[in-house]
Structure 1
């Protein structure tokens, strides 16, 4: 039996020396030792170092430095469901960690831990599944981001395929006019860089070459006194060369038998002028216009009485559309067809008589 009351209080309340002698045998501390005032153990700080002989407090150190029996009991305790086994996965299941590391290395394209460094050819041969920023290159992941609704895309592609086959193979279907024109006629649109001139100056040259053949327009610009005529000549030559190389325009009516002679025909243009068309692949300038560009600079303009204004240096570009004479022939035939379809002209409209009355209405 032991008392929980401090011995000093018992000694103070003792009535006789005999009682004090009996109580001294019941004290918690022996008589030779003095009880400290504080109940906490003194700690070394600031200049003291950690004692290496103390017992390991880290669980990892306990597993590696402890006895075999303690290590096995601790591992079995950590592997139980009540504890968290994921903290010591690298010590408990090293084989499983190695397999997962190998799979991660294969996905990221890095070297596996159990193999040596890969050569350049082996690295190129490995499929890349991630981008530099960590995006996935897997086909399924890309499909989800690019095609969020696969069924709707399948329905749309089916609809477009049916429409194309119907318009192209059905004997009773009619090809749209714009589709037929885009399939049978060649067009090239060319735009020049920003030229150091104004719209007011360049628009006159654009109107001068509009509707002319490319050769005739080059002759007009050759003998023009305008400063920008040389730039217009350069841009026309560039557009002509692009049309020949990229679209195959202006190469002549060459047939399989080698016969390049084509019958000439008289056509009337939209402006009312008549012209003779021999080679329908000959190029002409169908459209020509100018665009206002950014300001190149602002220079001071000194005037009288100490005044100063700012001069803006503008920039302008020239755009041209080149087509073949085949387009002129088609437009002439369409106009003639519309004229014939209208029928004879009558002075009074030929409409039925309605609302007849028995008396005059005037």
Structure 2
């Protein structure tokens, strides 16, 4: 190993002074770089570097890489689907002097709710068309009514009450409009009436949003004329809006039991069972009740007059008594 001592540096400077052409190489530090193979190239060596062999593929790659834009964190990738929008920029929105259409805006926001999965709906419609072709276009009466009339079945959560206490409330609201049933539950003295009222309000909102019911006043320009109909139990009813909601059916279902301890005397403890009950309602529009009224009237008109002694020929008669 060579050592860069002051004595050698002085000797080198003296030889430089005696030479005809002064050299300043003694001023450059000459240290060697040690590697695993021994001593390598001197640091102060000013010899030109050796040229590496050129590669055509590597040179083309480096040229292309230099021309490509550098990646900035947060930018979109080359294969992103939003590159066209970013390159084009946001287009200026033209201002149109048109009146504000609240109904169109409402239908725009209601479309994802009414048709959340269009692919599944198309598959179901294709399946129904195939079934109808197999049956040669003959639909049952129930299928026709499903296509023409809307309904909603809403089941509540389980209330902390018994079936015996909830059945009278279900009978009370059956056949009434939703608004009238909510008023009845609001002023009822029953403890479970408050929860039934909240369930009716939730079912009403769900029918409007998810099924598009009770929208006749918004969709029709001219209000419908009031119609007097007769309900199934014989009561007269005035219908102003055919799309108004009413409760067609309401029934009660028993749920599970919740237990608690009943502490008694002498260190005893009994188990008390607290029942839970749910109420289910079927909401329909008034057009269903109008149809049922017209069917009953048509049935009465087509009914034949009852005759005590019908005028028909007597057959299978004997000329003598059978005894």
> Which structure has more strand as a fraction of its residues?
2
Equivalent-residue separation in structure 2 for 1:228 and 1:157 (angstroms) = 42
Matches within 5 A, 1:279-290: 279-290=241-252
Counterpart CA distance in 1 for 2:263 and 2:171 is 31
Q: Secondary structure at the match of 1:329?
A: helix
Alpha-carbon spacing, 1:354–1:253, altered in 2? closer, same or farther (3 Å): farther
TM-score, normalised with respect to structure 1: 0.50
Q: Please report the RMSD computed on the Cα atoms of aligned residues, expressed in angstroms.
A: 3.1
Summarize the Cα distance change of 1:255–1:312 in structure 2 as closer, same or farther, 3 Å threshold: closer
**Per-residue displacement from partner, 1:168-203 (whole Å, max 9, x unpaired)?**
xxxxxx643112110111100000111111111111
Q: Which runs of 4+ in 1 moved over 4 A?
A: 156-159, 253-256, 305-309, 348-352
Q: Which residue of 1 aligns with 2:133?
A: 162
Equivalence for 2:189: 225
- Deviation of 1:331 after TM superposition, in Å, equals 0.7
Partner of residue 294, structure 1: 256
Structure showing greater Rg: 1
Shift of 1:312: 0.7
2:211 to 233, 247, 252: 247
| Alpha-carbon distance in structure 2 between the residues aligned to 1:245 and 1:332 | 28
Determine the structure 1 residue equivalent to 2:228. Answer: 266
Q: Please give the alpha-carbon distance, in whole angstroms, between the structure 2 residues aligned to 1:336 and 1:322.
A: 24
What CA distance in whole angstroms lies between the structure 1 residues aligned with 2:263 and 2:175?
40
Residues 133-189 of structure 1: CA deviation (Å, up to 9, x unaligned): xxxxxxxxxxxxxxxxxxxxxxx999636236x31xxxxxx6431121101111000
Question: Aligned partners of 1:158 and 1:275: how far apart in 2?
Answer: 39
- Distance between the aligned counterparts of 1:356 and 1:334, measured in 2? 42
Instruction: Give yes or no for the alignment of 1:182 onto 2:143.
Output: no
More displaced 10-residue stretch of structure 1: 306-315 or 174-183:
306-315
Q: Deviations over 1:294-349 (max 9, x none)?
A: 1112432638x987643211111111110011010111111122222221122356
Equivalent position to 2:279, from 318, 322, 325: 318
Q: Residue 295 of structure 2 corresponds to which residue in structure 1?
A: 334
Where 2:246 maps in the other structure, the secondary structure is strand
Q: 1:361 Cα deviation (Å)?
A: 5.3
User: What TM-score does the superposition give when structure 2 sets the normalisation length?
Assistant: 0.56
Report the 3-state secondary structure (helix = DSSP H, G, I; strand = E; otherwise coil) of the residue aligned with 2:314.
coil
- The answer (yes or no) to whether the contact 1:301–1:311 under 8 Å persists in 2 is no
Give the Å deviation of 1:283: 0.5
- For structure 1, the 5+ residue unaligned runs are 1-120, 122-155, 168-173
Q: Please report how far the alpha carbon of residue 221 of structure 1 lies from its aligned counterpart in structure 2 after TM superposition.
A: 0.7
Question: What aligned pairs does 1:29-44 form with structure 2 within 5 A after superposition?
Answer: none
Deviations 1:229-277 (A, max 9, x none): 1100100000000000011111125566x212x1222211111111112
In 1, Cα distance between equivalents of 2:205 and 2:129? 40
CA distance in 2: counterparts of 1:300 and 1:342, whole angstroms: 64
Q: 1:158 to 1:182 in 2, by over 3 A?
A: closer
